Structure 1
Amino acid sequence: MEDDAVRTGSSPRSDGGETIAVTEETAEISADDVCVLIPTLDEAATIGDVIEGFYEQGYTNVVVVDGDSTDETRDIARDHGAEVLVQSGSGKGQAVREALEYVTVPYVLMVDGDGTYDPADADKMVEPLSRGYEHVIGNRFADMDDDAMRALNGFGNRMINRAFGFVHGANYQDILSGYRAFTVDSFRRLSLDSDGFTIETELAVECVKHGVETTVVPISYSARPDESETNLHPIRDGGTILLTLYTLAKTNNPLFYFGSLGLGGIASGTFIAAYVLWEWVQYHQSHEVMAVASAAAIMLGVQLLMFGVLSDMLVTLHREQRRRLERIARESNDR
């Protein structure tokens, strides 16, 4: 880790369109204060090397939370000295939430057990936490092996990142990265419901929603070893992630969520109305039921649009009030 130092100044971060300064006061974080959390499911081919890699970097507090693997993942992890938990439910999201209940140190370094992430990047991931950041995302695209990601997967990842930036107003560069460092306190402030692999997406959205000080660091990303099989399906899982991004906008960006539904209602109602008018002008045929449906769709769309505007105002006021209370709390602690 770095030597003790004190840095002055600030580092800006993007949080829903606003810039928040983070004071760069660097105090060394001991590896003993960091729990390396590795969610696994049938990773017998790689988990041993992953654990040893973190040991070599000085991180000996390693917890493997296993989703009831059918191979020797748990035995191999125990043989390499890791603490092994078997999750009570299923899915990566549920595993992470359950494991955090057993963490007694202030910092967590979360990483996949498939051998694609480099333990040598651990210090780089943890260091921003010493400067006041609460959540760190490793950007795989900064140094990615040519064969680490299929062309379809790469396209899907970039599309999802652009969608996240458009919908939620923050540029985290790689929201699907499985290499994360965060404070336990910040994690417990988040409202996480995802049970599956969409946990990374939900973490990114919740960081924006709750004003968690987040930064991105470049990391290396390698191809999955040939003997290790992926549990992801690009098209199906990509669609699920996009749907999750849209659904989570309900409470983080209600103007987009309800506004898009409202505009859809108005557009469909207008289309039906145009068809009814065309039929009446051309053939003197009336479609009373379709006309009523058109009016209802337009009225519903307008109401949803208005509801989105009001909800957005409430969310904005809530965020301003939260920042005010946090500032008061910081000022009280400084006295």
Structure 2
Amino acid sequence: MFEDTIRIGAIVRKENSPGKGNVVRRAFADIEADIYVMIDGDDTYEAAHLPEMIETLISGPYDHVLGVRKDNQESTSYRPDHEAGNMMFNRLTGWLFQSHVTDMLSGYRVFSRKFVKSFPAISKRFEIETELTVHMMSLRLPSTEVPIDFRDRPNGSESKLSTFKDGFRILGLISALVRHERPRLFYGVITAILAVASLVFGLPVVWEFWQTGLVPRFPTAILAAALMGLAFLLASVGLTLDGLRRARRETSRLAYLGLPAVSVPEAGNVELDLPRQTHTHRQPPAARTSLAS
């Protein structure tokens, strides 16, 4: 298969570190283009939608176009557990980051150079889609969605996704991203839990002292005081990290603004070039498109 791809002019590179996230990280670092396309190589996404998605990115202009999978009951590749998990992650992420997304785990996306070169790409495996979505939400980048067809995998092809294993990885990543991107919410919830626990243990001790003037349960009193002290400490940590997050986000925003925007060509003048042409020839900005899978 690689030989056929090379024969038609594509550049194929090997990433030794396993995991989709590592491949995307390498591709985003090595490829220089104005428009980037990411599509899974399992032939479940309809490539015919690509011109429409690129045209949408340019005409917006947008920095991110998400291909939203349509559930075709005749040829769907959606497993019920994956569909339910995707819906749950969409709602959870949208609520946590105060934005809307319909299909955050889709592997079919089109990006601008500004998006790609401002994206840190920390994830190693399939949770990379979650990181891409949160990056778009946290920086409030111009984004839109395009419905796409989704079909069964070819015969002999098996999904590498594990419903529970990768699901827990995605949950772990969402938790880590909330801690980094919304520290006041993350540490605020923990602070509230510790404060409530402190009051539950401490109020009976205070009431008993008020009635008798004695504190017969010193261990409980010490535990309640320690929990309240820890709550105040974590609240301070959350406020401090929120200030650092704001400074980091401003720096990321300035770096994003320093990158060139996608040029808008004349109507009907959008071309798709092979990766070999993308890397070896200087062409007008709107004509250089990179494909990654």
Q: Judging changes above 3 Å, is the alpha-carbon distance between structure 1 residues 145 and 285 closer, same or farther for their aligned structure 2 residues?
A: farther
| Count of paired positions | 254
- What pairs with 1:1-335 in structure 2 (closer than 5 Å)? 74-75=2-3, 77-78=5-6, 81-130=9-58, 131-140=60-69, 143-146=70-73, 147-273=76-202, 286-309=216-239, 311-312=241-242, 315=245
Q: Say if 2:24 and 2:121, in contact at 8 Å, map to a contact too.
A: no
Give CA-to-partner distance per residue, 1:19-46, whole Å, 9 cap, x none: xxxxxxxxxxxxxxxxxxxxxxxxxxxx
SS of aligned partner of 1:248: helix
Q: Say if 1:112 and 1:178, in contact at 8 Å, map to a contact too.
A: yes
- What is the CA distance between 1:320 and its match in structure 2? 6.9
Runs of at least 5 residues in structure 1 that lack an aligned partner in the other structure = 1-72, 331-335
TM-score for both structures, normalised by structure 1: 0.66
- Matches of 1:321 and 1:88, distance apart in 2: 32
Higher mean C-alpha displacement, 290-299 vs 119-128: 290-299
Q: Judging changes above 3 Å, is the alpha-carbon distance between structure 1 residues 285 and 308 closer, same or farther for their aligned structure 2 residues?
A: closer
- Matches of 2:218 and 2:168, distance apart in 1: 38
Q: Say if 1:138 and 1:218, in contact at 8 Å, map to a contact too.
A: yes
SS of aligned partner of 2:110: strand
Q: Judging changes above 3 Å, is the alpha-carbon distance between structure 1 residues 193 and 326 closer, same or farther for their aligned structure 2 residues?
A: closer
Q: Which residue of 2 aligns with 1:20?
A: none
Counterpart of 2:91 in structure 1: which amino acid? R
Runs of at least 5 residues in structure 2 that lack an aligned partner in the other structure = 261-293
- Matches of 1:276 and 1:112, distance apart in 2: 60
- Matches of 1:206 and 1:303, distance apart in 2: 29
- What is the CA distance between 1:315 and its match in structure 2? 4.3
Counterpart of 1:158 in structure 2: which amino acid? M
Q: Say if 2:201 and 2:224, in contact at 8 Å, map to a contact too.
A: yes
Query: What root-mean-square deviation, in Å, do the aligned CA atoms of Structure 1 and Structure 2 show?
Result: 3.3
Higher relative contact order, structure no. (Cα contacts within 8 Å, ≥ 6 residues apart)? 2
Q: Judging changes above 3 Å, is the alpha-carbon distance between structure 1 residues 326 and 82 closer, same or farther for their aligned structure 2 residues?
A: closer
Q: Judging changes above 3 Å, is the alpha-carbon distance between structure 1 residues 184 and 317 closer, same or farther for their aligned structure 2 residues?
A: closer
- Matches of 1:255 and 1:300, distance apart in 2: 15
Q: Which residue of 2 aligns with 1:11?
A: none
Counterpart of 1:302 in structure 2: which amino acid? F
- What is the CA distance between 1:290 and its match in structure 2? 3.9
Identity %: 30
Q: Say if 1:114 and 1:224, in contact at 8 Å, map to a contact too.
A: yes
Q: Say if 2:118 and 2:256, in contact at 8 Å, map to a contact too.
A: no
Higher mean C-alpha displacement, 318-327 vs 293-302: 318-327
TM-score for both structures, normalised by structure 2: 0.74
